[in-house]
Amino acid sequence: DVKVTQSSRYLVKRTGEKVFLECVQDMDHENMFWYRQDPGLGLRLIYFSYDVKMKEKGDIPEGYSVSREKKERFSLILESASTNQTSMYLCATTATDPLDEQYFGPGTRLTVT
């Protein structure tokens, strides 16, 4: 079974803080993704990575950066958290086959106050 873990289930941060969200997968998948999910907006892609040290912007990259130093780990960084970044953040992974399903982590509920 694919296992995707995220560093925290719930996180509360203050405006202006730097926030790190970590995602680790154990299936040797090449592709990893970060989404945020908001009511009425669905899941929106922030960034994805198809290889170590490779990254591409998704649909809403503003205010975020990512890091992929090892194949199994993909980090999302909020350089200076703002209240409009309060959301559920979901990491996902998939093998290179584009028709393969995406496996999601349990999510991190981030609240920025």
Binding positions for another protein, rule: CB under 8 A: 30-31, 35, 40-45, 48, 50, 58, 90, 94, 96, 98-102, 104-107
* 104 vs 96: CA distance, rounded Å: 16
Whole-angstrom distance between the N-terminal and C-terminal Cα of the chain? 37
> Least Å distance between CB 14 and another protein?
25
Our CB check for another protein shows the closer of 14 and 52 to be 52
* 30 vs 56: CA distance, rounded Å: 13
> Least Å distance between CB 18 and another protein?
25
Our CB check for another protein shows the closer of 48 and 64 to be 48
Our CB check for another protein shows the closer of 17 and 88 to be 88
Burial of 3 (0-12, 13-18, 19+ CB in 10 A): exposed
